[in-house]
Chains A and B, each alone.
Chain A
Amino acid sequence: MIETMFGTLFTMLTTPYYLWLMLIAVLIGIWVGITPGIGGKLSIALAIPFVFGWEMIPGAIFLLTMHAVNGTSGQISSIMFGVPGDGDDAATVLDGHPMAQKGEAGRALGASMTASGVGGIIGAIVFALMIPVLEPVVLAFSPAEFFLLALLGITFIAFLAGGSGIFKGIIVGLYGMMLGTIGMDPQTGTARYSGDYLFLWDGLSLVTAVLAIFAVPEMIALGVKGGAISAVSKEAAKYSYRQLFDGVLDVPRHWWLVIRTSVIGAVIGMIPGLGGSAAAWICYGHAVQSSGTPERFGKGAVEGVIAPETASNAKEGGSLLPTLFFGIPGSSGMAILLGAFLILGIQPGPTLITQNLELVWMLIWALVVGNIMAVVILLFFARWVALLTFVRGELLIPFVLILCVVGAFVNEAQWENLVILVVLSAIGYGLLRADWPRAPFVIGLVLGPIAEESLHKALALWGPGFFLRPLSLVLIALIALTIGWAVYTGRRQSLAIGTGAVAK
């Protein structure tokens, strides 16, 4: 085992052919991640004709590397303009974009890229460590646990809203959950809030909603206020490589958070059925909830960038596990990768580990080396990218709004999404002006439907006693602790504010 482990790494690093292939794959993956509307799924689907006739190992590492580094570059537009490339990057907008507004775009980019890379590597380590215990861990999560995990994520709303704003947070969160119920209900076969509009049957597009709630309002606000995205000038921000490296160093500074969110991300990726976007949001919520100063979040806290980025890259390692060893893909992206693997002659299943250990290690190392390559390349360019935040707003706003429109349209190729974009943008701008929290909306929209569906299934399978399972009880205890902690810190804060007022 150990011999194969290091032997494959040695082969990979000493074979120029492999390194070139991975470099090309990394560059394509970065490009696909930056371009709005082209997700990782489409890129693999389009690459399939090219890998026909390739040998197994080079073909597999090429495709996997391309897929794995998508998330590393996707957050650039999230941070710079508040425009997420897909649902996974959406959580990074919450704190990444405010950092850019504070003149810290370089730091945010440095932190997010490094966090992505480290997350990807930890994901690969989790992959390697989990192989022996894969079966019991993955099979322990059933619809009952999906429901409770989603519920746990939803309770984080209490922290996101922070102190006195908790009722605003709950209202916005419930509104998101309500819009999450739009579409064909798989449990009753009824089209809810959809009328005769078929495009609503699959629910509201997450990317469109995030663009409308975050990106467009920010651009309107920028236009009204004038100036550049960064509120402080380039000179005042002391913009330099040093800021970028400050961001890079933020990752080791928060090493404990990095490890936790990477592991959570990888485990969520491992469990088919919970969805990739859930990983980033649950980890963001976890960062807020575990922080001593949750009120900084949403206003440019670097932990709010690190947590979702580590999670979204770590989940790739996780979701590769059931794909390879059960032949059951952990996400829709993995489903396409699985198809491509079959073409290359890889036969996924429990026997893969005994019959083709070399390939398994090659894939693990491809995740590690590919992530490092992507981080180095992106950090090199990030310096110039970050300068855009100091450009005058009038020059930037039309360009960003075009990005928003393209992003909303291309994802599902339906013009009706543009109508949704305009309507929700008005709501988003209203929330921004009234200074209401916007993150709970997206959490409600992402996790609400997962919670509803899983609850339905759990009740159908086991009746009202569905939660009487060991893992469920642990999750229930976690939810209770989270709520208790929220109430406690909330009271402490209001007490502190109260005594402060008296002292004055």
Chain B
Amino acid sequence: MPMPMTKSLLPLALGAIAAVVLAAPAAAQTGADFYKGKTVTYIVATSAGGGYDAYGRLVADFMQKHLLGSTFVVRNMPGAGHLIGTNAIYNSKPDGLTIGTFNTGLIYNQLIGLKGARFDLTRMSWIGKAASDPRVFVIHAESPIKSFKDLRESRQTVNFATSGIGSASYVETKILADALSLPVKIIAGYSGTEDMMAMRRNEITGIIGSRSSFEDFVKNGYGRLIAQIGGGQKDVPQLASLITDPEGRAFVALIQSQGDLARLTAGPPGIPPDRLEALRTAYGKAFEDQELRARAEKLGRPIDPAVGEEVATLVREALNQTPKTVALLAAALEAKAPTLKASGPLVEVQKKGRVIVFAGPDGKNVKAEPSGSRTKITIAGKEAKRGDLKAGMNCEINYKPGGENEPTTIDCK
């Protein structure tokens, strides 16, 4: 099984760990010592069986082996599309004794502020990721659509299956269809492998799914792959090479970052640094273990690990999207865009406060149109009108990104 990224990432990560261990031998010592005779709960945010459970049990088994004296217990906490398990991990005591795994797709939930998420992924203690899971466009074997170009130029709308609305599979299909203006009609609500059955029945023509899930399906001659996002395989063209418009590329990059970060392991924010280091070291050693690799291969679970800070950086990068991407994402999902916060001086005030310009959170100037009725304006703690705003005032502004960038509140000193 080719694992091109492994070769490049793992030594780097291990090197980083080695550096830390060498620099602070005493700290690492206490971190690893702490786990002697301790029980670590490893939360899997799905029920037993299935991919997350398989990777979770694999990681737990081998972290136990490489964290001497520790006992790892796997606990399944399914429900609400990984939210219950993730909330439990995030809100557990940060003593390094509770960690777990969940769907990377929750990055979308956080980006557009979907309901039910009680976590901030940027603050979590990232331990590692086990695999990369490139996405593919799967098309029914007997469909006349034989390439991505055919799909784009199809005169008839093409049915695509996804899981329920709000799921990662729906989000990805919807934003790609919208951003690349594909003639796609989404039929939502196919859970598990029902989408494959639906394609066998020829009621749906396409699926955007993870490559590893469809490998056998394609091998059996039921479907063909016409485009891929991420991954090192050369047999399917990369979607990024097939499109030109920058907006579409931004989304493809976002989805690719999800794919690169599959099968994560993380703990709550604030795990003491020495214990986190011990966990990361054990994670790194686990994936160096030939026995783990052999077992993963037998399970048919490809691995492509990365450890520690590297994963944390990837997560932060995935969450650092331009307000425009976020707004488009929210619009595609008909969700309410979250408000953005900016603070600093008003650069310009035009038309008696009907138009204001200020520096957005990314440092670029934002032109916004405050509403006379909806925008709440206070100046020095007192209620005020938009006509009272003046350039140079130091203000804190909450606004809805996109279109008129209408501020919800403007609070000036």
Contacts and interface: CB of A to CB of B under 8 A. Distances in A.
Interface of A: 41-42, 44-46, 49, 52, 138-139, 142-143, 184-189, 191, 196, 198-199, 201-202, 272-273, 322, 326-329, 332, 335-336, 339, 342-343, 347-350, 412-414, 453, 456-457, 460-461
A199 B300 contact: no
B201 interface: yes
B79 A186 contact: no
Nearest to B49: A336
A45 B200 CA distance: 28
Interface residues of B, number: 54
Lowest 6 A-B CB distances belong to which pairs? A186-B164, A189-B165, A336-B49, A201-B80, A186-B189, A45-B48
Nearest to A143: B203
B270 interface: no
Interface of B: 47-50, 53-54, 57, 61, 75-81, 83-84, 87, 115-116, 159, 163-167, 170, 185, 187-194, 196-198, 200-201, 203-204, 216-217, 219-222, 295, 298-300, 333
Contacts of B48: 41-42, 45-46, 336
B189 A326 contact: no
A202 B79 contact: yes
A198 B83 contact: yes
A349 B164 contact: no
Nearest to A198: B80
Contacts of A191: 115-116
A55 to B, nearest CB: 14
A198 B87 contact: yes
B220 A326 contact: yes
Given A42-B48, A142-B201, A348-B216, A52 B189 contact: no
Contacts of A335: 49-50, 192-193
A328 B84 contact: no
Given A322-B197, A350-B220, A453-B189, A413 B165 contact: no
Nearest to B162: A186
Contact of B196 (A42, A199, A328, A414): A328
Contacts of B203: 142-143, 461
Nearest to B116: A198
A327 B220 contact: yes
A187 B78 CA distance: 21
A44 B300 contact: no
A45 B56 CA distance: 12
A327 B201 contact: no
Contacts of B198: 142
Nearest to B115: A191
Given A328-B196, A335-B193, A461-B203, 11 more contacts: A41-B47, A41-B48, A45-B48, A46-B48, A49-B61, A185-B164, A326-B197, A328-B217, A347-B216, A460-B187, A460-B188
Nearest to A144: B203
A187 B190 CA distance: 10
A457 B189 contact: yes
A272 B216 contact: no
B302 to A, nearest CB: 13
Contact of B298 (A41, A45, A343): A343
Contacts of A42: 48-49
A203 B216 CA distance: 32
A474 to B, nearest CB: 17
Most buried by A among B49, B187, B194: B49
Contacts of A453: 189
A327 B217 contact: yes
A349 B80 contact: no
7 contacts: A41-B47, A41-B49, A186-B191, A187-B164, A335-B192, A457-B190, A460-B187
A189 B166 contact: yes
B79 A198 contact: yes
B112 to A, nearest CB: 12
B188 A187 contact: yes
Contacts of A349: 216, 219-220
A143 B195 CA distance: 12
Given A322-B197, A336-B48, A327 B216 contact: yes
B215 to A, nearest CB: 10
A190 to B, nearest CB: 8
Contacts of A456: 189
B197 A328 contact: yes
A321 to B, nearest CB: 12
Contact of B193 (A142, A143, A329): A329
B211 to A, nearest CB: 15
Contact of A461 (B75, B159, B166, B193): B159
A146 B87 CA distance: 35
A182 to B, nearest CB: 13
Contacts of B220: 326-327, 349-350
